[in-house]
Structure 1
Amino acid sequence: MSLTALISLMVAVPLVVYILVLRWRADARYDAVTALLPSAHVVEGIACDPTTAGFFGIGGANASTQAKRGFAVAFDEEGAGFYEGGRHVVEFLRLEWAEVESIDLATVTVNSNRQATALELTVAHDDESTKLPIVIKSTQGVTGFRFSSPFETNEHFKAIRSLRGASPAAPRPVVGLEAPAGEEKTARRRLAPGMSSVGMSRFAGIAVLFGLIAFLAMLPFGILTWTHFWAAPGMFFLPFLLIGLVAIAVGRIVGVFIPMRESAELRAGYTLSREGDINVDQLDPKTGYVIRVAGHQTLSREQEKSEILRARARESSRRRISTSFARWAVAICVILAIGLGSAYIVGTALWWNTTTTAVCTLVDYHYRDSPGGVVYDVDTDNCGPLQVTSGPILTPDQATKLGDSLRAGEKYKLVLRGWSEWPNSPRAIVAASDLMATKTGLNP
């Protein structure tokens, strides 16, 4: 396998992992709003100048700024809610149907020169009317980056118009919170001090994932070392191996304490697990809101997700909750892996492209076995420690020929690569001329 192919793998594999783990923000926002309002008709809007101008006219600078970051719209029988965010969404504007004079289809200009069909809401406010065009992101095609076709937009138009024409419905019940009369459905409890069982579980998962990423980063160096292509990566192989083993061991050790923490939470009168004791309240692990009242049936995965999103939407009205710690941890690990690999590649390339010449007298030299290839350690009287090693310049056969040609006590004019610092030390001899006899070795 060539060095170029190995470098490509080091960059491509972490990028693929990053793309698979970190979902597109718009997709996450759409899913969050859909889970929060399962009976609503949800569309993902595209920020463009006509749209942001409409938001500015209706909701001021704050609404316009929020819309520029991307937004989702949830239409229901009461009106339309506009949400921004990712996995955790916040409603930044609400329009009741009484405020909407009409809903039509219109053509707007997007990105200066592209035309798109949009839903156009005519909103009455402050004794005037403002048009708010909504260009809908397509739900078809790869990742949905293109605009909805006129046909798709017309289908959305029909669905939204039917919702507007429907009679007002009773407030939707909160799934899983069929509490007795008079009981507060938005009850909030104080979580026991210390890391929660959910937090410990996530920490253990992240530690194991970090260990696997370390193993992934170790592979290119291991291949370079054990195929005798390059001696230097051997110094990185074992550290990555040890980091991976330690991270996985830490994750497993933390996992041992998770049942103990769950027992402590039960003694405090609650559980954070969907499959926990049904005789105690189930709480959202971040906000402490009750998402299942004690004595009620276990929530399904969809119900749990919906209730957690509801709880965090309540919390977001007071304080914006940060993006998932696990996603950030994965992103940081991937970026570190790419950064360390890139730094090593750049440093090694600069090292091997730094050429100097020196006149040195060899004091001693000896061959030693190395899993990375041929290595001769050379001691000199005035040039410091040097090496003859196979790598990008010399093949193993060429390095062996050059190393065998050297003689202790002789004075040589040496062509050297690198410097006596990271990432490769000591400097490498790539050619040698015996000043007392004939030229030996290879030409640089």
Structure 2
Amino acid sequence: MGALLWLLVIPVGIAVAVVLRAVLPPSFAPGVEAVPLVVGVLIGVGFADTEWLTRSRIVHVQALHPDGLVLPARSNLRSDEFFEHVVRVPLSQMGWAYAVAADDSGLSVYRGTTQPERVLLVPWPHVLNVSVAVVSAAPDLGPFDYVDPALTVTVATSAHPVEFAFPVLKTPGPYQRGRVLEATRDEIWRRRQAALGLDVSAPARSFASPGRRILLPGVSSVAFWRAIRMLGWLGPVGLVAFLVVRFAPVPEGLRDLWMLPLGLLLLSSLGSLVLAILASRRGNAEASAGYTLSRTGDSRLDQVDPVSGYVIRQAGEMQLSRDAERAEIARVRALA
């Protein structure tokens, strides 16, 4: 079904081409309407093929682990280093995507699609922790570099523990992705505890007085992301308003105001881009200061309440669930 959804990008490109032809005068850049059509075809076919390969890989790996949890994963900087230096598998052989399976034997990593090959098996006693972190594709994160939440598995080796981080594909959206990763993290940890005969419930949290950090002055990264979500509503509103004003039977005076909805659409796009750059830079500054405000932030940093500055999760602990975060925030704010 996912591959078919991506093919819908093609008629979207056709619709954009029709709108451009209707809005622009015939003398303006003849043939410009073909650009969104070609782009729509390339994006639709390309992503549909990628979706099909991902689904095919999962089906074949699931056949090898009928009772296991199989996750489609994508390569990133940290996983590339792990495979190259720890597993000793060349990056050219791993590809850009692979599969991770969790069953009674441990965590397995497979490459390939129709004939998957296992390149790594980590027995459960060697899995020390499972958390959610943010990973990137570049060693020095710039304002336009892509970052993505990922599952991080701490693996015991003969020398010292190492971390294997992998973004999980096929999640419902950027604002629900953290919730999906939390549930996946908890399921992996439950399987690990059950296989080792340990308590599958999470350890009780201490309710001692928490530590407190001095927050950096200025607007926090949480506030930037909240503004991005609010600004994101202007885009669909502007698009719908433009289509109504331009093509619906409205009074002639309103038809001349078609630039205003386009202005809302432009404001939403450019405003979200600028705010995302500021949020990324602010998040990097907060990490440099030794803390994170994000529930799915780096588990090696303290998670801090953005209002009171109290630590609600200490560095090294597993990320909080959404409900646990609300409870911790309510508790520390009562102390402020």
Common fold: TM-score over 0.5:
no
Higher helix share: 2
Query: What is the TM-score normalised by the length of structure 1?
Result: 0.31
Higher strand share: 1
Query: What is the TM-score normalised by the length of structure 2?
Result: 0.40
Higher radius of gyration, 1 or 2: 1
